[in-house]
């Protein structure tokens, strides 16, 4: 009888073997000797493990390696070289990358596709991407290692990816296109950075000092910190890349709620950038420092950092840094009870975001402005901003900022409308999203709010709505937040009747 653990292992085996029928059949033959869990643990050496197929099959189909050998041997020499070189792209590669790194042409790619060694698919923007099933890529990597060209090709791959991330614009009109592009390339970037960290710290510094913005926006917070800690440890402390990586690490630390760590890192980064005279990153470091100090309560010092960041950004016409600092100043005014001033600062930040073209920044400013409008009693203005910002942030794939928008705007709006059932549901969604990100539960909706909503609804109803919110899909959360279908709890059914 197959228990739950074995079923999970079998599912993972099929996934790891890319669904290849022969590979799965060969793995199944090993059940006589090994449990599914044991087979799964050994799949890193899958080509050695998966031998001994049925003897009535042709020789080339009796082992997985022999099957790939047969296809590989049908290739011409240059096609075999291209096949081996493509193994350096775990996420596959687009034509420009293959031309740059592998010196390939379309005819060679067509041959690999024809022999079922490479799969051609389109990226979201319509550009073709050529990739290998992981089992086949493992075989190709062994061929590359045996060829003596591995170091050269891996370095070329890493240099190409450095050029790619350096060209990325995470702050302007093409922000979302670049985030989507890096989604497709992320496994390649991971592989390139891992190699660079062990072999070329200058390359590692270049990749890490750019990619942190992607990790922040896409919610790869802990992973980003792990990479950046190694980049910071390995790069020259006098380099701009080292300082920028520290600014990135401070931002990620603050987002994770690790403010004390972020505080120390941002102070060191600012000191270094002052010595280097790099105004662009001084403005951003001041903003990171202010964010890390936010929970310490020294508002006068935080305001000094932000005022200076705003001054530099205005002098340098750096709207991205300006908008970021104005957002934090708006929060500072709100915390001080100066809500009208906070609204004005968020409005000014929104205009700056609009000049940058940052879709994410525009949605974030609208969300924060909506939160202030709720507190000022402007429910009509708040609802308009809610209906724009919540779906936008969800669609952009920026999970931390979506979580903040739920916490501040959506929950506060529901409560101001007297809809504590919806608020309880959104509290559950917020906590689930925060847990998925590995960050602390945010920000506006503190324990007092949870207690108030629970008391209003009663423990049983609150718990049911909260659990429903935790189980919601992203689409359902958005619908609930903007006033579509509400919670489907017994209480909501009762109230409807």
Query: Using one digit for the tens of pLDDT, what is the confidence trace for 40-85?
Result: 666 555 545 445 544 444 444 445 676 678 678 889 999 999 999 9
Q: How far is CA 276 from each of CA 240, 282, 306, 434, rounded to the nearest angstrom?
A: 8, 9, 20, 37
Name 404's Cβ contacts closer than 8 Å, sequence gap at least 6.
Answer: 364, 367, 442, 443
Residue 495, pLDDT score: 45
- The domain segmentation of the chain, as residue ranges, is 4-61, 74-148
Please name which of 164, 156, 220, 226 lies closest in space to residue 189, comparing C-alpha atoms.
Answer: 164
Give the pLDDT mean for 201-228.
96
| Cα dihedral 462/468/469/475 (nearest 10) | -150
User: What is the chain's mean pLDDT, rounded?
Assistant: 87
Q: pLDDT by residue (tens digit) across 256-279?
A: 889 899 999 999 999 999 999 999
d(CA 58, CA 445): 66
Would you give the DSSP letter of residue 94? Answer: E
Place of tokens 């090993």: 30
Judge: domain 74-148, CATH 1.10.10.10: yes
Would you give the DSSP letter of residue 296? Answer: G
If one compares 44 and 300, the residue with the highest pLDDT of the two is 300
d(CA 289, CA 325): 11
Give the pLDDT mean for 460-479.
96
Question: What 3-state class would DSSP assign to 111?
Answer: helix
Asked whether the beta carbons of 432 and 470 are under 8 A apart, the reply is yes
Strand partners, 122: 128
Binned at pLDDT 50, 70 and 90, residue 295 comes out as: confident
pTM value? 0.84
Question: How many other C-beta atoms can be found within 10 angstroms of the C-beta atom of residue 493?
Answer: 10
Name 309's Cβ contacts closer than 8 Å, sequence gap at least 6.
Answer: 283, 284, 286, 287, 290, 321, 324, 325
Would you give the DSSP letter of residue 30? Answer: G
Lowest-confidence pick of 42-51, 97-106, 236-245, 275-284 = 42-51
Residue 303 burial class via C-beta count within 10 angstroms: exposed 0-12, middle 13-18, buried 19 and up? middle
Q: How far is CA 115 from the centre of its chain?
A: 35
């Amino acid at each position: 009888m197959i228990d739950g653990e074995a079923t999970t292992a079998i599912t993972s085996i099929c996934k790891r073997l890319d669904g290849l029928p022969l590979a799965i059949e060969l793995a199944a033959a090993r059940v006589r000797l090994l449990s599914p869990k044991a087979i799964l643990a050994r799949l890193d050496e899958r080509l050695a493990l998966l031998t001994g197929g049925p003897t009535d099959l042709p020789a080339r189909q009796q082992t997985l390696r022999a099957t790939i050998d047969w296809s590989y041997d049908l290739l011409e020499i240059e096609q075999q070289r291209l096949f081996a070189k493509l193994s350096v792209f775990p996420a596959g590669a687009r034509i420009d990358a293959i031309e740059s790194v592998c010196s390939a042409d379309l005819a060679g790619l067509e041959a690999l596709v024809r022999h079922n060694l490479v799969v051609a698919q389109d990226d979201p923007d319509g550009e073709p991407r050529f990739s290998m099933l992981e089992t086949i890529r493992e075989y190709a990597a062994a061929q590359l290692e045996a060829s003596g060209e591995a170091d050269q090709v891996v370095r070329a791959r890493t240099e190409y990816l450095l050029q790619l991330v350096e060209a990325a614009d995470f702050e302007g009109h093409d922000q979302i296109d670049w985030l989507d592009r890096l989604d497709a390339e992320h496994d390649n970037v991971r592989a390139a950075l891992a190699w660079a960290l062990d072999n070329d710290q200058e390359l590692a510094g270049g990749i890490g000092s750019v990619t942190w913005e992607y990790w922040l926006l896409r919610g790869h917070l802990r992973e980003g910190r792990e990479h950046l800690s190694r980049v910071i440890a390995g790069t020259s402390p006098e380099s701009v890349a080292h300082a920028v990586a520290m600014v990135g690490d401070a931002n990620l630390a603050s987002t994770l709620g690790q403010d004390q760590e972020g505080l120390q890192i941002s102070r060191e980064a600012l000191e270094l950038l002052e010595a280097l005279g790099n105004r662009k990153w001084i403005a951003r470091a001041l903003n990171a420092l202010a964010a890390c100090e936010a929970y310490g309560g020294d508002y006068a010092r935080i305001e000094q950092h932000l005022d200076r960041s705003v001054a530099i950004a205005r002098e340098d016409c750096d709207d991205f840094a300006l908008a970021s600092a104005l957002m934090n100043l708006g929060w500072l005014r709100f915390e001080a009870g100066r809500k009208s001033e906070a609204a004005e600062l968020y409005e000014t930040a929104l205009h700056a975001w609009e000049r940058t073209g940052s879709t994410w920044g525009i949605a974030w400013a609208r969300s924060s402005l909506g939160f202030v409008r709720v507190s000022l009693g402007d429910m009509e203005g708040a609802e308009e901003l809610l209906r724009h910002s919540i779906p936008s942030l969800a669609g952009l794939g920026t999970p931390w900022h979506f979580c903040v928008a739920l916490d501040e705007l959506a929950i506060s709006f529901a409560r101001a409308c007297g809809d504590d059932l919806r608020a309880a549901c959104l509290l559950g969604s917020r906590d689930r999203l925060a847990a998925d990100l590995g960050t602390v539960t945010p920000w506006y909706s503190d324990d007092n709010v949870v207690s108030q909503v629970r008391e209003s609804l009663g423990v049983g109803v609150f718990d049911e709505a909260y659990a429903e919110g935790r189980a919601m899909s992203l689409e359902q959360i958005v619908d609930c937040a903007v006033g579509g279908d509400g919670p489907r709890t017994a209480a909501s059914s009762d109230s409807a009747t």
